[in-house]
Amino acid sequence: MKSTPYGNSKSLIFAPMEGVTDEPYRMAIGKLFPEWDYYSTDFYRVPTVGNINAKRVHDHFGARTFQNEELRKKTTYQILTTARAQTEQVVQAVSELNVDHLDLNLGCPSKKVNAHKGGAYLLSDLEELKRIIRLIRSNFKKTFTVKIRIGYRDDSSFEDSLKLFEDEGVEAITLHARTRDQLYQGIADWEYIKKAVKLVNIPIIGNGDIWSVHDVNRMFDETDCHAVMIGRGALKTPWLATLFYEHQNNLDFISDEYLLDIRKDYLDLYFYELEKEYRKLGLDDHNILKRFKSFSRYLFDDYADGEIVRGRFLRSMKLDEFLSHLDRL
């Protein structure tokens, strides 16, 4: 039995992010900030050669996620593939795991991924894209969605791609309102999300430049999208869903001073819980520090001396040094 893609309406989704949303990260976020309605794995890269390792497919989702029925139902399994990759075999392996929701990454702007004709590149080849969509749809009977951009080089295939997804049985579309070539430059054009909502009869999930609870509210109001997916904004404020649901009826309460006051407390909890999860995985101080630094790109933007603060964390040579800087915020 299929589930409704991303709930009935106005859900908040923690976006899939490569190198971030592995199981220990998701477990930490789920424990600290359970207000997020849905999570996703980072993408599983479908291999082009070799045997498909069912255990590796399973481990990408996570053993503890499988054991927790509520968490399993809230977690999407995302894959990234190409025309030459072993898509059918991997999708069959995912299907056998009884995963409720499979998502295809068609938005990744990575130069390497697109050079291998994966990610957003497939939006420039609708015939090949249709073949891949049909292959996945015929091998996965539960909820199947896609995450896309408005196009590869430009938006010339935007409307045709939306219709293709709807016609081929895709059940929801997450739309990042930039082309691949725009990367993360400029401002995401939410008019494309509003247009997509009117063009197709399947849920559209809005994505792109959502940094605050006010942005979440504005995305819903301006586009009438079904749900909102947050990536970089969630990395900056992992507790953003908590803020939104606690204050959505009184957004004026959320001042800059209030946000800075709670940021310090939440950052302490965030890194404490993440360290616990990575210890369970067997990571040592060096590898935990490496991950913590990678998560620090946006965390300190709201401080008046944000670049200086971030620099202190990024120059830390040891994990204890990194954590000690939290006391100085």
Report the pLDDT averaged over residues 82-86: 95
- Residue 279 is predicted with a pLDDT of 97
- Residue 323 is predicted with a pLDDT of 96
Where residue 1 falls among pLDDT bands split at 50, 70, 90? very low
Where residue 15 falls among pLDDT bands split at 50, 70, 90? very high
92 and 56 in contact (C-beta within 8 Å)? no
Q: Give the torsion sign (CA, 213, 218, 219, 224).
A: positive
- Residue 78 is predicted with a pLDDT of 98
State how far the Cα of 82 lies from the Cα of 85, in Å rounded to an integer.
5
| Sequence letter at residue 1 | M
DSSP readout, 15-52? PP-TTT-SHHHHHHHHHH-TT--BEEPPPEE--SSS--
- Residue 35 is predicted with a pLDDT of 96
Tens-place pLDDT, residues 201-229: 999 999 999 999 999 999 999 999 999 99
- Residue 294 is predicted with a pLDDT of 97
For the question of whether the overall pTM of this predicted structure is more than 0.85, the answer is yes
C-alpha count within 13 angstroms, C-beta hemisphere, residue 51: 3
Where residue 50 falls among pLDDT bands split at 50, 70, 90? confident
Residue that wins the pLDDT comparison between 2 and 156: 156
Report the pLDDT averaged over residues 143-152: 97
pLDDT of 89 strictly over 60: yes
Which tokens is 298 given?
């946006």
Q: What percent of the chain is modeled with pLDDT above 70?
A: 99
pLDDT of 3 strictly over 70: no
**Closest to 91 measured CA to CA, from 35, 29, 33, 135:** 135
| Strand ranges in the chain using DSSP code E only, listed in sequence order | 11-14, 39-40, 44-45, 75-80, 101-106, 143-151, 173-179, 204-207, 227-230
- Residue 2 is predicted with a pLDDT of 58
Tens-place pLDDT, residues 189-203: 999 999 999 999 999
Is 225 labeled as catalytic in the residue annotation?
A: no
Between the two ends of the chain, the Cα-to-Cα distance in Å is: 49
Residue that wins the pLDDT comparison between 51 and 103: 103
- Residue 329 is predicted with a pLDDT of 84
Report the pLDDT averaged over residues 42-66: 93
Tens-place pLDDT, residues 95-124: 999 899 999 999 988 888 888 899 999 999
Catalytic residue among 93, 108, 234, 288: 108
Tens-place pLDDT, residues 279-314: 999 999 999 999 999 999 999 999 999 999 999 999
- Residue 301 is predicted with a pLDDT of 95
Instruction: Give all domains of the chain, ordered by start, each with its CATH number.
Output: 11-253 (3.20.20.70), 256-328 (no CATH)
The number of beta carbons lying within 10 Å of the beta carbon of residue 127 is 8
- Residue 250 is predicted with a pLDDT of 83
The number of beta carbons lying within 10 Å of the beta carbon of residue 46 is 22
- Residue 248 is predicted with a pLDDT of 82
